[in-house]
Amino acid sequence: MTTPRTADDLFRFLDELGIAHTTKTHPPVFTVAESVSLRDEIPGGHTKNLFLKDKKDNFFLLTVEENASVDLKGVHAIIGAASKVSFGKPEKLMEYLGVVPGSVTALGAINDTGKNVTFVLDQDLMEHDIINCHPLSNDATTSIGRDDLIRFMEATGHTPLVLKVTA
């Protein structure tokens, strides 16, 4: 297994693509509830990420607005999974996205060189001009334009699905 890329690698990659981004460091946050205190300082859509798998070991990362709810019993039909989905194991999260639980992020696409993960961006989240994601660790928040997020993902070899996955 290759060593996961770091936040510095990520920022360099964004710079090479000419994508504007700002990052604010903060104490580590593990839950949406813990990150609410940062809202006044960081405008835009804030994310919650669900790393899911189906019975055929197809992996999905759903990135939704932080307060949105996802019907885990029915979402498989929307995202094209082969069966109902469950949460992916932390080992696969590290292997494919190079992050640990609590640091899950759409920006992890930079580490999914084997294209093992299907990235799904919620339609409601994508109504925000600015999307906020962890830069591969949960002690910072990176703000990036909505269209630039898609451009970044495409540059990593992924075509994210923009679907309505929230209730």
Model confidence over 131-143: pLDDT tens digits? Answer: 999 999 999 999 9
Tell me, yes or no, whether 140 lies in a domain. yes
CATH number at residue 29: 3.90.960.10
**Domain count within the chain:** 1
For residue 43, give both structure tokens.
């405008």
Q: What is the dihedral of CA 59, 63, 66, 70, to 10 degrees?
A: -60
Model confidence over 89-101: pLDDT tens digits? Answer: 999 999 999 999 9
Question: Distance (Å, rounded) from C-alpha 52 to C-alpha 72?
Answer: 9
Tell me, yes or no, whether 2 lies in a domain. no
Helix axes of 7-16 and 146-155: crossing angle, nearest 10 degrees: 100
Tell me, yes or no, whether 65 lies in a domain. yes
Tell me, yes or no, whether 142 lies in a domain. yes
Question: Distance (Å, rounded) from C-alpha 117 to C-alpha 158?
Answer: 9
Tell me, yes or no, whether 85 lies in a domain. yes
pLDDT of residue 32 exceeding 90, the answer is no
* Overall size of the chain counted in residues: 167
For residue 89, give both structure tokens.
């194991």
Contact status, residue 136 vs residue 7, Cβ threshold 8 Å: yes
Q: What percent of the chain has pLDDT above 90? A: 85
What's residue 1's pLDDT? 55
Residue 166 confidence class, pLDDT cut points 50, 70, 90: very high
**Which domain does 30 fall in, by range?**
7-163
Give the residue, 149 or 28, on which the prediction is more confident: 149
Tell me, yes or no, whether 70 lies in a domain. yes
Report in angstroms the alpha-carbon separations of 106 from 36, 55, 81, 149.
19, 22, 19, 8
Tell me, yes or no, whether 74 lies in a domain. yes
Model confidence over 42-92: pLDDT tens digits? Answer: 889 999 999 999 999 999 999 999 989 999 999 999 999 999 999 999 999
Tell me, yes or no, whether 110 lies in a domain. yes
